[in-house]
Structure 1
Amino acid sequence: MTNYFCWDQRLGIYLPHLSKEWEQYLKEEQMRILLEWEHIRGQIPDRIREVEQQIDMLQHQLGEEEQFERSCQINQQIAELASIINDLWIWYRVQGHITVKKADT
């Protein structure tokens, strides 16, 4: 990964981590960043499937759990994983664009 992305432990993917405003990057830099972002975005559906599988396992455990306190813990874990999926979908929808400066035209 380049300096433009950093690992997000919670989501399990790299996220943009830009040190300056998007428009301040040269067109070529923007293109490299967007190309790398598209590669990362392409991995998000697979990551979502992984998290969904974790939820499925927890739901199975929940269906067999008899202790109320443990059921609450499992529900909390499911809620956190669902939140991760929601955030991953938000990032999946983020699309960049190349900024054309007047000097570049």
Structure 2
Amino acid sequence: MTYEFVYDERLGICLPHLKYEWEMYSRETQARILFEWETIRGTIPDRINELEALINEKQEKLGHEEDFTVSCHLNREISELASVINDLWIWFRTRQTIEMNE
């Protein structure tokens, strides 16, 4: 297969892995890839909402935490979740089009 979608544990979604440059794929293959990607892409806002809920929970814990070491750990977890959300937004904005050249 010249492309596949591989689950990314950190992001919690499948990402496209293309063996060739986009323009090298036929229109039919581009259409198949885009169909799969748009299906996955449509789940990204829900995934972001899940992560935002986790951040809110951790921020609530942080607001009541008195142990400095635990506070640092919570801050690190919140930072990582925010980084994942940022990366998901980048993927959400990634769009390709089908090449119309014959």
Instruction: Tell me the TM-score normalised to structure 2 length.
Output: 0.94
Structure 1 outlier segments of 4+, above 4 Å: none
Q: How does 1:1-105 map to 2 (within 5 A)?
A: 3-101=3-101, 104=102
> CA–CA distance in 1 between the matches of 2:95 and 2:4?
15
What runs of 5+ residues in structure 2 fail to find an aligned partner?
A: none
> CA–CA distance in 2 between the matches of 1:95 and 1:84?
19
**Structure with greater strand share of residues:** 2
> Cα RMSD between the aligned structures?
0.9
Identity of aligned residues (%): 56
Instruction: Tell me the TM-score normalised to structure 1 length.
Output: 0.92
How far 1:16 moved relative to its partner?
1.0
| Partner deviation per Cα, 1:12-45 (whole Å, 9 max, x = no partner) | 0011100111111111000010011111110000
What runs of 5+ residues in structure 1 fail to find an aligned partner?
A: none
How far 1:100 moved relative to its partner?
2.2
